[in-house]
């Protein structure tokens, strides 16, 4: 099953109460203009790795993906890499999705 699109929520001057959605086992795609972050909330008892896929190659060598660990019971706000690295649509995957909720935030 393909990754599903995750809509970005714009942070405004009066604040934003983000809406979180369950992480998709096949990952999410997120429109990336260079001002987007993924807020991941891990409600599980285990650490979960979140991977921001890098689509860029230089001289035939693929750049490594960015992997961020969200500790058990904690949250992380992960700034997506530049669109030059991820493309205008970033792909994010998850090591596990049980009790993991996410929101894409544009600042």
CA distance 17 to 46: 26
State the burial class of residue 97 (Cβ atoms within 10 Å of its Cβ: 0-12, 13-18, 19+). Answer: middle
CA distance 11 to 106: 6
Per-residue pLDDT at 1 exceeds 90:
no
3-class SS at 38?
Answer: strand
CA distance 28 to 12: 23
pTM of the model: 0.95
- pLDDT tens across 7-32, in order? 999 999 999 999 999 999 999 999 99
- pLDDT tens across 43-97, in order? 999 999 999 999 999 999 999 999 999 999 999 999 999 999 999 999 999 999 9
Per-residue pLDDT at 36 exceeds 90:
yes
């Amino acid at each position: 099953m393909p990754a599903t699109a995750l809509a970005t929520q714009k942070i405004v001057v009066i604040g934003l109460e983000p809406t979180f959605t369950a992480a998709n086992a096949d990952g999410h795609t997120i429109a990336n203009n260079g001002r987007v972050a993924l807020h991941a909330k891990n409600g599980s008892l285990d650490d979960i790795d979140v991977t921001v896929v890098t689509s860029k190659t230089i001289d035939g060598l693929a750049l490594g993906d960015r992997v961020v660990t969200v500790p058990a019971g904690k949250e992380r706000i992960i700034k997506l890499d530049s669109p030059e690295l991820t493309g205008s649509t970033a792909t994010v995957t998850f090591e596990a999705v049980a009790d993991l909720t996410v929101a894409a935030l544009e600042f």
